[in-house]
Structure 1
Amino acid sequence: MTVIKDASSESWHLGDMTLAHGSTLVIALGGNALLNAGEPATGTSQRANIAKVAAIIAPLLSRYRIVITHGNGPQVGLLAAQTADADWPLDVLGAESEGMIGYVIEQELANRAPTQIFATLLSQVIVDPKDPAFQHPTKPIGLIHQDRSRLTSLGWDAVEVASGGWRRVVASPPPLKIVGLETIRVLLAAKVTVICLGGGGIPVSLDGDGRLAGVEAVIDKDLASSLLARALDADALIMLTNVVGIMEHFGTPKASLIRRTTPELLSEQSFQAGTMAPKVAAAVAMAGKGKLAMIGGLGDLQALLDGTKGTWVLPDGSPL
């Protein structure tokens, strides 16, 4: 697909779409954005990673209206292990990690873009407490343990990971609705950079009387970010992770980067559950609304926007 920059308007023409100045972008941070594999889960290492993220995103803040979401898998799992005897539920720990990580992201961005205005929100996301996901927990959280007995002694489900060791798994039902969406709309209209939906948001259920209650689960950050982007009618969903994009024949000698694709083309392939599959599903849902989704490496953000790196998922029928 040909990408053309219009010097007069500084817009990027994507077929019949444009990503112009003032466009709304939802940027979902994952992978090496917060904690690299093998790194100690210390505040120092995580702040250093977030500082790198802030340096990459800060130059975009004057050009676009931006909402930043982020993962929390290692952090919420570590908090759960640290507070196991206190019996804090996952929704509360999710809120704690969302505030903790959001605070550091906001501070690092503000130090690099002092004229911008920021708001970090605790985001509740409604799920169905009767969803089958609760019977088959699959979402890994927390650090890798060499001894499974530590996890099972706490009554937690565990799965063996490919690199060796064990990791806790919890239910990950699909997000249905974001609570407080209108607040985000108001902030964006006021040109506030919003940080929200940490860890996919705080999982809650809604009873027949309209009362909210926490749910013992975590929500996939990319699926929740796609739901948010579509609800906001954002121009693009950008998922930044520790891979260069969507790979065809991943894990084989024939592996190759998919540069441009559509939901129809992606439906012909399968992707690894828990890693690329949710990102593909999030991108497909965004493209299904006639908008653009991008997947790529954190350090490639500007090149991803330029169309020179990563994967773009475009609406069906787009020229590739």
Structure 2
Amino acid sequence: GAMSQGYIGYHLQQAIQQELKARGVDKQCASIITQVVVDANDPGFAKPTKPVGSFYTKEEADKIAAEKGFTFVEDAGRGYRRVVPSPIPQRIVELKVVEQLVKAGDIVITVGGGGIPVVETEQGLKGVAAVIDKDRSSALLAQSIGADMLIILTAVDRVCINYNKPDQKELPTMTLEEAEKYIEEKQFAPGSMLPKVQSCMEFVKNNTHGGTALITSLQKAKVALQGETGTIITK
């Protein structure tokens, strides 16, 4: 997690700074190595679900599992990968630093990869082998800094029901009640659209000043903010 935050954060930071310079905008951009506290007793630790690392043959996976006690699963027919827990994020450790930079008008790259998972011990924070869902961490961040809107960018312009079926329907708006209904109907795929919708719901539900959430594609982010596409989630 820390390696990913440093490497990807650096490239994002460079690209943003170059774009700001090209546009003549005098603004700083900073990447923050971000730890996120999780509960050591989170049920997710008992059931690893997030694939990480390299692909292995079944024989290789069995050997590593026997030696190190890792859990492996077959990943879409491409081989076997180690799976690690995906606990729920509870608190962003570097939140005050992020808030100070945001208030100063800086662009902040943070909670990369969902944040580096840590648990609280008597000695302090301790890293754990896990991967926190990026959407959930983003919702927690938005909620924690008092954001007016949470925007989650994905591969589609709008959330759909009956996805990839003849009667597929795009959703320009969705209330919390409607989202709950669609989840009960299993309209959103686990590990794909479901955590995005749930994270948006969490943000909207806990926002005390009428905040909304938006799900759209990176390519359509600007026009989605103008109301021309995307799915807006409201109370």
Shorter-chain TM-score above 0.5: yes
Aligned pairs for 1:173-252 (under 5 A) are 173-207=87-121, 209=122, 211-252=124-165
Residue aligning to 1:307: 227
Which one of 145, 152, 177 corresponds to residue 264 of structure 1?
177
Residue aligning to 1:273: 190
Which one of 119, 123, 127 corresponds to residue 30 of structure 2?
119
- Map Cα deviations across residues 265-297 of structure 1 (whole Å, 9 max, x no partner): 010013221111110111001111231111111
Structure 2 SS opposite 1:234: coil
Cα distance in 1 between the residues matched to 2:51 and 2:31: 25
Cα distance in 1 between the residues matched to 2:33 and 2:47: 27
Cα distance in 2 between the residues matched to 1:175 and 1:181: 13
% same residue: 38
Residue 103 of structure 1 deviates from its aligned partner by 0.4
- Map Cα deviations across residues 110-158 of structure 1 (whole Å, 9 max, x no partner): 0110222011100000001211111111122346x37233344332323
Cα pair distance change 1:116/1:167, threshold 3 Å: same
Are 1:110 and 2:17 matched, yes or no?
yes
Is this contact kept in 2: 1:262–1:287, CA < 8 A? no
Please tell me the residue identity of whatever aligns with 1:97: S
Cα pair distance change 1:297/1:278, threshold 3 Å: same
Which one of 199, 217, 220 corresponds to residue 297 of structure 1?
217
Displacement over 6 Å in runs of 4+: none
Structure 2 SS opposite 1:252: coil
Residue aligning to 2:46: 135
Cα distance in 2 between the residues matched to 1:239 and 1:139: 20
Please tell me the residue identity of whatever aligns with 1:291: G
Q: Unaligned stretches of 5+ in structure 1?
A: 1-93, 316-320
Cα pair distance change 1:286/1:97, threshold 3 Å: same
TM-score (norm 1): 0.65
- Map Cα deviations across residues 163-210 of structure 1 (whole Å, 9 max, x no partner): 654443210000000001111111111111000111000000012x36
Cα pair distance change 1:283/1:170, threshold 3 Å: same
Is this contact kept in 2: 1:188–1:194, CA < 8 A? yes
Residue aligning to 1:159: 73
How many residues are treated as equivalent by the alignment?
220
Is this contact kept in 2: 1:106–1:119, CA < 8 A? yes
Residue aligning to 1:42: none
Q: What is the aligned-residue RMSD (CA, Å)? A: 1.7
Cα distance in 1 between the residues matched to 2:9 and 2:231: 27
Cα distance in 2 between the residues matched to 1:108 and 1:154: 39
Cα distance in 1 between the residues matched to 2:123 and 2:145: 23
Is this contact kept in 2: 1:230–1:286, CA < 8 A? yes
TM-score (norm 2): 0.87
- Map Cα deviations across residues 49-68 of structure 1 (whole Å, 9 max, x no partner): xxxxxxxxxxxxxxxxxxxx
Cα pair distance change 1:142/1:294, threshold 3 Å: farther
Please tell me the residue identity of whatever aligns with 1:228: L
Cα distance in 2 between the residues matched to 1:265 and 1:220: 23
Cα distance in 1 between the residues matched to 2:164 and 2:74: 19
Cα distance in 1 between the residues matched to 2:45 and 2:111: 21
Residue 232 of structure 1 deviates from its aligned partner by 0.5
